[in-house]
């Protein structure tokens, strides 16, 4: 059997959130050795092999086709694989691992609030010291591209191997470009964010490799995984209502539910099953009572199947360029 290789981040909060996310979708992944081991088992969906990698390594193995799927941040995709849109397919944004790539300067630079201010300060710095300001970052490509687009000059990039936010205090740089989720670490190091919108608003993503080999068995496994993931996503924040609606006008009931953005899942033998966002559950129940429902049961579903077919077909077309056989 041609296994689907799935690359996951090997440590940290991103790993924990990823394992939790897939477990909720029915794919249980466990490391099979000690905490430093890279071997893993995957249960719940047949035909999946797990490769644990550093998050920054995932884009390159996706680009080369060494794995079929990978989870990593959008910031790393755009930094490590600049032509990522041409080499990978976004399956889904996963809703965790959110962080912004920002430009930060010392809080004492009271006259620097925008990138235009920074450009002026950089020119003055070079005139005064005879060399350009240093920018510490792990994101050389994204920083260079952003500064070029904004017309900034008079700077020199310095690759940061450690804690980037500590570079100004250590005398290693004057400016930092770093990833942050709350800005607290930057503030603790007496830095402030400038420039308005961040360079990148990042979150964890599931991406598929166009360069990988996609035989039929592997595509079938991909479909199973996508259907599970999309079923879990569709269930989030929703309830299912079930009740008897004796003698109800089916067409009128469906129309009444549609006006409050609630879907009629089925209406068989005078029994209605309705799917609704939690915020609309009371409104849906009121409609059902108006149509004669004496009692309404509600459940919070773990999975709602159906949405995965369209997602799979979109990904399949991007990967191999041909539609599924009829």
Angle, helix 308-320 to helix 216-235, in steps of 10 degrees: 140
Whether residue 237 is predicted with pLDDT greater than 60 in this model: the reply is yes
Q: Where are the domains of the chain?
A: 4-96+203-233, 99-201, 238-299
What percentage of the chain exceeds 90 in pLDDT? 77
Whether residue 323 is predicted with pLDDT greater than 70 in this model: the reply is no
Task: Output phi, psi for 268, to 5 deg.
Answer: -130, 130
Mean pLDDT score, 170-199: 94
Q: State the architecture of 238-299 in CATH terms.
A: 2-Layer Sandwich (3.30)
Whether residue 150 is predicted with pLDDT greater than 80 in this model: the reply is yes
- Domains 4-96+203-233 and 99-201 agree in fold: yes
DSSP 52-103: EE-GGGHHHHHHHTSSSEEEEEHHHHHHH-TTHHHHEEEEEE-S-S-EEEEE
What percentage of the chain exceeds 70 in pLDDT? 96
Rounded-to-integer distance, Cα 221 and Cα 176, Å: 43
Domain 99-201: CATH superfamily, name plus number: Periplasmic binding protein-like II (3.40.190.10)
Q: Note the pLDDT of residue 313.
A: 95
Q: Note the pLDDT of residue 51.
A: 92
* Whole-number Cα distances in Å, 48 to 6, 23, 193, 222, 231: 7, 14, 42, 9, 19
Work out the pLDDT band at 317, boundaries 50, 70, 90.
very high
Work out the pLDDT band at 326, boundaries 50, 70, 90.
low
Q: For the chain, what is the mean pLDDT? A: 91
Q: In terms of DSSP bridges, do strands 4-9 and 69-73 run parallel, antiparallel, or are they unpaired?
A: parallel
Q: Note the pLDDT of residue 73.
A: 93
Q: State the architecture of 4-96+203-233 in CATH terms.
A: 3-Layer(aba) Sandwich (3.40)
CB 243 within 8 A of CB 272: yes
* Of 167-171, 259-263, 269-273, minimum mean pLDDT range: 259-263
Mean pLDDT score, 9-32: 93
């Amino acid at each position: 059997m041609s296994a689907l290789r799935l690359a996951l981040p090997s440590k940290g909060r991103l790993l924990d959130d990823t394992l939790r996310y897939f477990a909720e979708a029915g794919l249980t992944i466990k490391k099979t050795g000690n905490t430093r081991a890279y071997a893993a088992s995957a249960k719940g969906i047949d035909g999946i092999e797990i490769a644990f990698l550093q998050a920054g390594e995932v884009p390159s193995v996706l680009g080369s086709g060494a794995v079929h799927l990978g989870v990593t941040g959008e910031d790393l995709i755009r930094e490590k694989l600049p032509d990522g849109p041409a080499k990978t397919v976004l399956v889904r944004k996963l809703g965790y691992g959110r962080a912004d790539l920002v430009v930060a300067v010392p809080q004492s630079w009271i006259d620097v609030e925008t990138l235009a201010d920074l450009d002026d300060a950089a020119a003055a710095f070079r005139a005064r010291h005879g060399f350009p300001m240093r920018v510490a970052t792990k994101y050389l490509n994204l920083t260079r591209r952003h500064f070029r687009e904004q017309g900034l000059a008079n700077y020199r990039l310095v690759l940061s191997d450690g804690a980037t936010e500590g570079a100004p205090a250590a005398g290693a740089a004057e400016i930092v470009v770093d990833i942050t989720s709350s800005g607290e670490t930057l503030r603790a190091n007496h830095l402030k964010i400038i420039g308005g919108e961040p360079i990148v608003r990042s979150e964890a993503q599931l991406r598929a490799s166009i360069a990988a080999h996609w035989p039929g068995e592997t595509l079938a496994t991909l479909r199973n995984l996508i259907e599970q993931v999309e079923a879990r996503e569709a269930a989030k924040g929703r309830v299912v209502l079930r009740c008897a609606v004796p003698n109800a006008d089916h067409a009128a009931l469906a129309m009444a539910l549609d006006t409050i953005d609630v879907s009629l899942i089925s209406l068989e033998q005078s029994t209605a099953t309705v799917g609704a966002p939690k915020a609309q559950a009371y409104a849906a129940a009121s409609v059902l009572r108006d149509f004669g429902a004496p009692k309404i049961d509600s459940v919070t579903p773990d999975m709602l199947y159906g949405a995965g077919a369209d997602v799979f077909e979109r990904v399949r077309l991007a990967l191999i360029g041909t539609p599924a056989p009829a």
